[in-house]
Amino acid sequence: MVQTIVGANWGDEGKGKVTDVLAEKSDVVVRFQGGANAGHTIINEYGKFSLHLLPSGVFHQNVVNIIGPGVALNIEALLSELEGLTSRGVPMPQLLISDRAQVMMPYHVDFDKFEEERLGKNSFGSTKSGIAPFYSDKYAKVGIQVCQLYDEQILRERLEIALVKKNALLKELYHKPEIDIEELMAHLKVLAEKIKPMVCDTTLFLHKANKEGKVILLEGQLGSLRDVDHGIYPYTTSSSPVAGFGCVGAGVSPRDMTDIYCVTKAYSSCVGAGPFVVRMEGEEANELRMRGGDAGEFGATTGRPRDVGWFDAVATRYGVMVQGATEVVLTNLDVLGYLDEIPVCVAYEVDGKQITDFPATPTLMRCKPVYEKLPGWKCDIRGIKRYEDLPENCRKYVEYIEKVCEVPIHMVSNGPRRDEILYR
Ligand code: GDP
């Protein structure tokens, strides 16, 4: 049985928390795309953690965590995240790394930085973790798979091919020092040895686990609107955070996918560049930003203040649709308790018309939000343990969002902690 947790929006929907909750009832948690470029905030009995590359099942001893072949594996980042957990009292998790995952090279991170510098104000809002150069190399077939780290001759040949181009760019375009292959080989050798015990054929492992009836949880990073095909291109990531890609990036069969949990916040938040129709400015935005999340809406990886706005029904319905969600999980509902009335963006206005279907980027750039207002509930709902005990207007808000998403909501999160979750 394969369940998938993905985001409906621009990322930061609270997927980490939901994965941490569902991991309790799972056997395996798999990351299937992206790298250390996004952060999942998890608050549990060990404290508060920001996971970037590690699957969110690492706090559960019985869970096998997997870095799937679709992930951009930054080995140093992974090792330092692991160290960050164990040094704070979390027992060493069970972790497997796909031998087919590709390695984020130091030069990918450098090229990401150099390219953003070169583009200046036309940049795409990269987190500068090397993601775009990594996936470019992967699909241009000059990437390095983890398994290739263990064959010196193959590794050298692969790097020689890649470095001809890299060094030409470094010299001519970026005016930076060239890469020395010997230094790089020595560096990779040390890293490869450190992860060796975790490297295996994770696709085979998952196939067997599924056959044995184990519960496999796929964990997406970012959200629908950052998908390289279905998102707000070019302000997207370079991989595919949609559930459908989960099969590819993790290595499971689409036949085995049962539940697709699509996470969305009770309002909107967005970090990074690109059109964000419901973006708010001024005091109203500051207030929501400071109240949002567990400690204000600031990027878990970059610390950048997130743009915020009211719930965007047009974008979210689209995001839920491209995920093929079987249910929506609504998070951060507690954040809205201060409002007399809660605006919801129900349509976009563009070229004198109102639209309710999410358009492609050039049209999206010209859209203005159309709001409807719902009554607020004016109280703190943290601490409430049963859905039925929520104030009536709060339940009505959930029902309203369920209706506009056109997919049922069974789980509602009323606080950042693991136990702050209500079931309908
Ligand atoms: P992810 O990348 O989708 O896992 O999301 P992030 O962790 O980047 O951002 C979600 C933020 O919301 C974090 O600060 C979480 O601690 C916080 N969070 C998650 N669920 C809730 C909730 O129900 N209420 C509140 N107040 N914060 C939440």
Q: Residue ranges of the alpha helices (H) in 13-128?
A: 15-23, 75-86, 106-119
The alpha carbon of 203 and the centre of ligand 1 are apart by a number of angstroms equal to: 30
Angle 206-19-402 (CA atoms, 0-180°, nearest 5)? 115
The alpha carbon of 332 and the centre of ligand 1 are apart by a number of angstroms equal to: 7
Report whether pLDDT(23) > 70. Answer: yes
Q: Say how far apart CA 266 and CA 264 lie, in whole Å.
A: 7
Report whether pLDDT(295) > 90. Answer: no
Q: Is residue 351 exposed (0-12), middle (13-18) or buried (19+ Cβ within 10 Å)?
A: exposed
Over pLDDT 90: what percentage of the chain? 88
Is 312's C-beta closer than 6 angstroms to any atom of ligand 1?
Answer: no
Choose the residue to mutate in 13, 31, 41 for probing ligand 1, maximizing ligand atoms within 8 Å of C-beta. Answer: 41
Query: Position of tokens 């750039």?
Result: 365
Closest of 263, 248, 418, 403 to residue 327, by C-alpha? 263
Query: Position of tokens 């951009």?
Result: 72
Is 302's C-beta closer than 6 angstroms to any atom of ligand 1?
Answer: no
Indicate which atom in ligand 1 lies nearest the CA of residue 297.
14
Q: Which two tokens stand for residue 31?
A: 């990351």
Is 222's C-beta closer than 6 angstroms to any atom of ligand 1?
Answer: no
Is 65's C-beta closer than 6 angstroms to any atom of ligand 1?
Answer: no
The dihedral formed by the CA atoms of 324, 8, 29 and 424, expressed in degrees to the nearest 10? -80
| 256 catalytic per annotation | no
pTM assigned to the model: 0.94
pLDDT band at 305, cuts 50/70/90? Answer: confident
Choose the residue to mutate in 222, 332, 394 for probing ligand 1, maximizing ligand atoms within 8 Å of C-beta. Answer: 332
Span 386-420, pLDDT tens digits: 999 999 999 999 999 999 999 999 999 999 998 99
What is the structure's pLDDT at 261? 98
| 12 catalytic per annotation | yes
The alpha carbon of 189 and the centre of ligand 1 are apart by a number of angstroms equal to: 37
Span 335-384, pLDDT tens digits: 999 999 999 999 999 999 999 999 999 999 999 999 999 999 999 999 99
CA–chain centroid gap for 224, Å, is: 9
Closest of 203, 194, 219, 193 to residue 99, by C-alpha? 203
Which of the following is catalytic: 20, 40, 108, 110? 40
Kindly report the protein residue whose alpha carbon is nearest to atom 8 of ligand 1: 12
Query: Position of tokens 């036949």?
Result: 255
Span 175-211, pLDDT tens digits: 999 999 999 999 999 999 999 999 999 999 999 999 9
Report whether pLDDT(300) > 70. Answer: no
Indicate which atom in ligand 1 lies nearest the CA of residue 420.
23
